[in-house]
Structure 1
Amino acid sequence: MEKVDEAAVENVVVHSFSNNGIIMYEHLYYKLQQENRFNMFKGLILDSGPGPMGCRDNFYKKNYTDKQSSIFLPIALFSVNAANRVPLAQNIRQVTETIRVLPGNYNKNKHIPWTGAFLTHHEKGTWPLMLLYSKEDDLMPYTYLERMMEHQSNRNADRRLISKRFEGSGHVAHYKMHPKEYKSSIQNFLKSL
């Protein structure tokens, strides 16, 4: 928040990518909530996330429970590293280190909802929300994302929700495959704020 205050930022539109971007948004959300500064938020753009954070939900990809699972984290790390072509030896080292520190970190922070549960059940923003996703994303089930948007709509019928489903693009690849359509969607959303 120091950098935000130093730069005299008054309005924030978060554009998050995958679960890591949503983790940043969640942290900022709780920080601004503590400081009674929600009025800074003007919009939220979610690209390829959030996803379910439990093994069961990711395996079945239906009838989601939003139960968090500590074992899911090393599996997800391995999968994301593999998708990003991290060399196998480096990937195994990172997963091993994660497993080593996981019990202490997980037990200390298990009361904090993970990205999917946070946006589905906890986040109560009133600012416009735009979701960018596709059916071809192997990491984020589109059914989970559509369910999250339905929960958002049920929680606050006055919140402006916009969904843009791209055809044929994978995880965080919508801009790469559809640059004109992606830019136009973002520009139109920003202009509407």
Structure 2
Amino acid sequence: MGDANIDYNIVFPESFITERHWQGLKEPVVILLGWGGCKDKHLTKYSSIYNERGCITIRYTAPLKTVFISEAFGYKELNATAHKLLELLYDYEVENNPIFFHVFSNGGFMLYRYMAELLHSHGRFSTLRVVGAVVDSAPGSQNVRGALRAITAALGPNTNAVLLYFLLGLFGFMVFLLRIVLYSVTKYIHKNHYDALRDHPPAWPQLYLYSRVDRMIRHRDVEQMVKAVQEKGITVDSFDFGTSAHVSHFRDFPEEYSSRCLAFLTQSMQTTAGTQKKQRFSVAN
């Protein structure tokens, strides 16, 4: 089952674990969207946080060329991927379960942007129920230096030096030209992920986890996004881990990271259940 054109992993927890934690309720489906260059073994560590709480998890990381090249050139390849990932919910017959996102860095946030837009505008997906989202080390806006650091880290130390500098030069030039110099014009063709979700954030509760010392995503970009979402009247929270590097908060603070994510998931589920109960009561009366 599922789409053979995307490399994803899905995990169903043991039924007794689900029943222990959700007591007859439909367990959440947690969709984890990895950072650029993320390997599945890294994402597995995060999905285990939710599997141990009786959640279904879907893990996916977009290819590097899609994150760093397609988006830089304004080609919306990730939109098709977002559609395929949402279709998986129907393939595995969990479309009636609550959905929860866990998003990493700009690579995951770009894909999350398209999924959020589809959930809002696409007739088939508009009935899906999202209860919340955790955003880790994102989003960043028009930060060429941070983007170059990210692509260097993603390619790894074994990349040929000539190839590395060529790719960095090409990527840096395209980002600077299309996303900064000409952005006042190109945004009408393809608005960047930051502006798209700042201007029209999804209505579900959101938790932003970041660090003031992150060298790839500026903390002020995250804080400005949180402020923008808050001004729209949407439930939003944030936490600055202070000393951990980019997408390293779980590695440096495993217990606190896990407890914050699970507490937010539980709170989001309770809020949604309370809202549905009020709606049922209102209809009945």
Q: Under TM normalisation by the shorter chain, which class is it?
A: 0.7 to 0.9
2:240 maps to which residue?
165
Counterpart of 2:87, as a letter, is E
Cα displacement (A) at 1:33:
1.9
1:18 maps to which residue?
105
Structure with max Cα Rg: 2
Counterpart of 1:164, as a letter, is F
2:92 to 7, 13, 26: 7
2:136 to 44, 47, 50: 47
1:143 maps to which residue?
220
Maintained 8 Å contact 2:211/2:219:
yes
Q: Deviations over 1:72-93 (max 9, x none)?
A: 4xx6653213234342334235
* Structure 1 runs not aligned, ≥5 long: 59-71
1:185 and 2:270 are equivalent in the alignment = no
TM-aligned CA distance change 1:140 to 1:78, over 3 Å: closer
Counterpart of 1:34, as a letter, is S
Q: Deviations over 1:13-58 (max 9, x none)?
A: 11110011111111111222222416521111110000012xxxx3
Q: Distance in 1 between matches of 2:227 and 2:169?
A: 37
The 10-residue stretch of structure 1 (94-103 or 83-92) with the greater mean CA deviation from structure 2? 94-103
Counterpart of 2:150, as a letter, is V
Counterpart of 2:151, as a letter, is N
2:164 maps to which residue?
91
1:112 and 2:217 are equivalent in the alignment = no
Q: Distance in 1 between matches of 2:132 and 2:147?
A: 29
The root-mean-square deviation of aligned C-alpha atoms, in Å, is 2.8
1:61 maps to which residue?
none
Number of positions where the alignment pairs a residue of Structure 1 with one of Structure 2: 170
Q: Deviations over 1:63-121 (max 9, x none)?
A: xxxxxxxxx4xx665321323434233423544675899899x99x7423222212222
Counterpart of 2:265, as a letter, is L
Counterpart of 2:243, as a letter, is G
Q: Secondary structure at the match of 1:9?
A: coil
Q: Distance in 2 between matches of 1:20 and 1:183?
A: 22
Question: What's the TM-score once normalised by structure 1's chain length?
Answer: 0.75
- Give the number of the structure with larger relative contact order, counting CA–CA contacts within 8 Å between residues 6 or more apart: 1
The 10-residue stretch of structure 1 (166-175 or 3-12) with the greater mean CA deviation from structure 2? 3-12
Q: Secondary structure at the match of 1:50?
A: coil
Identity %: 24
Q: Distance in 2 between matches of 1:162 and 1:189?
A: 9
Q: Distance in 2 between matches of 1:151 and 1:30?
A: 17
Maintained 8 Å contact 1:128/1:160:
yes
